Structure 1
Amino acid sequence: MKFLNILFIEDDAIEGIRLNRALVSLNQKHRLIEVSNGLEALNYLKSENNLPDIILLDLNMPKLNGLEFLKILKTDQFLKIIPTIVFTTSNNGKDITECYKVGIAGYILKPLKYEDYQIVVKKVLDYWSTNELI
């Protein structure tokens, strides 16, 4: 199993703390890069030579929301290959359909209960750390 460079795009600081806590408690040594909206994420991706292995993306954010970010990301010749997993509280069917149309690798609802959250994080990261990535 390899260690991942994960770009976590989330405007809620508590969600960042929650994900970091889950990684520590699960003894996951992945590298987490945190940005608070789609605009910051695009700036990071365009300025960075070492692209992330995967992107965990919230949908509801200020400045540039998750769907707007996805549409820009998936039209970029180099960035569109990064597997992007929507990690959100929105179970809106229209959001899910639109995200898959744009080209996401997965759509995961954030569980409210911390134990369930840990299980989901472990499953997602175990899958992507064993998957062959570019």
Structure 2
Amino acid sequence: MTDLEPAQILLVEDNPGDVRLTEEAFEQGRIENDLHVVSDGDAALDFLHQREPYEDAPRPDLVLLDLNLPRTDGEEVLERLKADEELRSIPVIVLTSSEAEEDIVRSYELHANAYLTKPVDPDEFIETVRAFEKFWFSVVRLPPEGERR
């Protein structure tokens, strides 16, 4: 990703309300991005591996992952992504409603790059997404596309 190219973000979220709030937060943000949305863990894995119907999907610069997903849950998606040599360098931010300590510990054990609890208040939710967007795309240095494995 260069400064001229939009960030490719994969949002894995099954709650339409949270998808809408996340889209709104990114629209209000200053970082140019392409937000791709899938609603379950199976679709996330298909997107990441560019399997049908996502053969032309871009490689995400960042994955926002809910834990409580239908079909393959977020924990399994995280585990598979971080076990894959081609995908493991993609930063994964767990963005979930769970405040359970075991979910936090397990996410970091599976190599999540960050764990954020979704605020219940819509304005706080938008502010949380905007703050992490600014951090990940203005402060953090990500490896160049050609250096990612």
TM-score interval (norm. to shorter): over 0.9
One-letter code aligned to 2:80 = I
Match runs of 1:3-82 below 5 Å = 3-47=6-50, 48=56, 50-82=58-90
In the other structure, the counterpart of 2:147 is: none
- Per-residue deviation, 1:50: 2.9
List gaps (5 residues or longer) in structure 2.
Answer: 51-55, 144-149
List gaps (5 residues or longer) in structure 1.
Answer: none
Could you list the per-position Cα deviations for residues 59-91 of structure 1 after superposition, in whole angstroms to 9, with x for gaps in the alignment? 001100000111111110011110000000000
Higher relative helix content? 1
- Per-residue deviation, 1:58: 0.2
In the other structure, the counterpart of 1:124 is: 132
Q: How many residues align?
A: 134
Give the alignment's TM-score, normalised by structure 1: 0.92
- Per-residue deviation, 1:26: 3.5
Q: Superposition RMSD on alpha carbons, in Å?
A: 1.6
- Per-residue deviation, 1:28: 4.5
One-letter code aligned to 1:32 = L
- Per-residue deviation, 1:49: 6.4
Give the alignment's TM-score, normalised by structure 2: 0.84
For the residue of structure 2 that corresponds to 1:111, the secondary structure is coil
Query: Whole-Å Cα distance in 1 between the matches of residues 36 and 106 of structure 2?
Result: 26
Identity of aligned residues (%): 31
Query: Whole-Å Cα distance in 2 between the matches of residues 70 and 24 of structure 1?
Result: 26
Could you list the per-position Cα deviations for residues 17-53 of structure 1 after superposition, in whole angstroms to 9, with x for gaps in the alignment? 1111222233543110000111101101111563111
